[in-house]
Amino acid sequence: MADTPLISQKHTAINHGGAIDAAAKKYGIPVEEWLDLSTGINPQGYPVPKIDIAQWQRLPLASELHALKHAASTYYALPATEHLVCAPGTQSLIQTIPYWLKDHAAICKVHIMGPTYGEHARCWQRAGHECNIEDTLPEERLLRATEILETAVSGTVVILVNPNNPDGVILPPSDIAELSRLAMQRDCWLIVDEAFMDCQPDLSVGAIIDDLPRTIVLRSFGKFFGLAGARLGCAVMAVDLAHELSERVGPWAIPGPTIEIGTRAFNDQDWQDKTRSRLAGDRIRLDKLISDKTTLALFGGTDLFRYFHGKESQALAQYLAQCGILVRLFDHDREKVRFGLPGSDQDWHHLTAALADWADIQSH
């Protein structure tokens, strides 16, 4: 494979947010006093049930994994459970697929529609693939992906995060289906990362996966269900490919406690509906708070994070950190900042008070 021109990214640390321990050390504020708004994880996670001691003492049973896959397949509206691969986190799939796929296809080049989640580029580069990061404006992303696939040579891979992280842009299923058709026509591959799709489940392409034979869809459990520590992620694809990737992931990849929690959460439609409603309301509340107390302009986002633009982004993030509040800055644009949602009343008060003080300082 050709050497990637972005080889330095293989080794440079990616700022993902969530490093509260590092922030605590830098600012001299104890970890337990921080409000972490640097991630896009639901701050009011699914209530974890009491786990039977047997789940910790033995390997997971095949019947338990089957129950998890059945629950997940229903939640994702898949045509059949056989389309699903479960792994210990979506990140593990992002790391595995570049090696696995090149065992089944001659991969010539990888195009990543950006700016987006940095691990996609890093993991494909580590597997020896040449990568192009196609930084685009949100309104130009579909056109650029279409142009690539219309002229692509066999073995081209296009990676699209939908909704995109961090700008939140969502392409509808019809557009994804057309990109998938082009990929099939050109003997190429389309990978769609739907890690933040849970708040708009009807916009997922999981239900039409039978019509997308050259498309791999990634789903995350930890973000919407607020249990990132459970380490559970899923991939959706053609049945024959799903069987092969499951073999690569291997047996007992998902711990018993995670299987039990995941099965319950995927089956709990009442909690899901209430959570979507709450997140939508909290998103509106956060937008108004930022608009009232700063000069930042909303640039995009989802119901799990909000993405703002403005010259005060860096200074505001620094000030909030001094108040024990961590938000997410970006290397690709110094005037962008992302806020996750506060969870408790105390968290909302913490953020509101800090922003009120910031507004007062700026007015003098």
The answer to whether the CB of 351 falls within 8 A of the CB of 289 is yes
pLDDT at 2 over 50: no
pLDDT at 14 over 80: no
Q: What per-residue confidence (pLDDT) applies to 172? A: 98
Beta bridge partners of residue 302, listed in sequence order = none
Q: How confident is the model at residue 6 (pLDDT cuts 50, 70, 90)?
A: very low
pLDDT at 235 over 90: yes
Q: How confident is the model at residue 15 (pLDDT cuts 50, 70, 90)?
A: low
Average pLDDT over residues 3-14: 44
Q: Given its phi and psi angles, is residue 45 left (phi above 0), alpha (psi -120 to 50 degrees) or beta?
A: beta
DSSP characters over 191-210: EEE-TT-TTSGGG-SGGGGG
Choose among 217, 9, 10: nearest CA to 93: 217
Q: How confident is the model at residue 18 (pLDDT cuts 50, 70, 90)?
A: confident
State percent of the chain over pLDDT 70. 95
Burial pattern 284-301, b for ≥16 Cβ within 10 A else e, equals eebeebbeebbebeebbb
Which residues are CB-neighbours of 43 under 8 A, at least 6 positions away? 226, 340, 341, 342, 343, 344, 347
Establish whether the linkage from the previous residue to 43 is cis, with ω within 30° of 0.
Answer: no
Angle at CA of residue 285, ends 46 and 281, nearest 5°: 45
Average pLDDT over residues 292-316: 98
pLDDT digits (tens, 9 = 90+) for 170-215: 999 999 999 999 999 999 999 999 999 999 999 999 999 999 999 9
- Tell me the CATH number for domain 7-44+270-362: 3.90.1150.10
Rounded Cα distance between 254 and 120, Å, is 22
Average pLDDT over residues 225-229: 97
Read off the DSSP letter of residue 294. Answer: S
The answer to whether the CB of 44 falls within 8 A of the CB of 275 is yes
- Tell me the CATH number for domain 54-268: 3.40.640.10
Q: pTM (2 decimals)?
A: 0.94
Q: What per-residue confidence (pLDDT) applies to 12? A: 54
| Domain boundaries defined on the chain | 7-44+270-362, 54-268
Q: How confident is the model at residue 1 (pLDDT cuts 50, 70, 90)?
A: very low
Q: For strand 215-220 and strand 189-193, is the pairing parallel, antiparallel, or unpaired?
A: parallel
pLDDT at 5 over 90: no
pLDDT digits (tens, 9 = 90+) for 335-352: 999 999 999 999 999 999
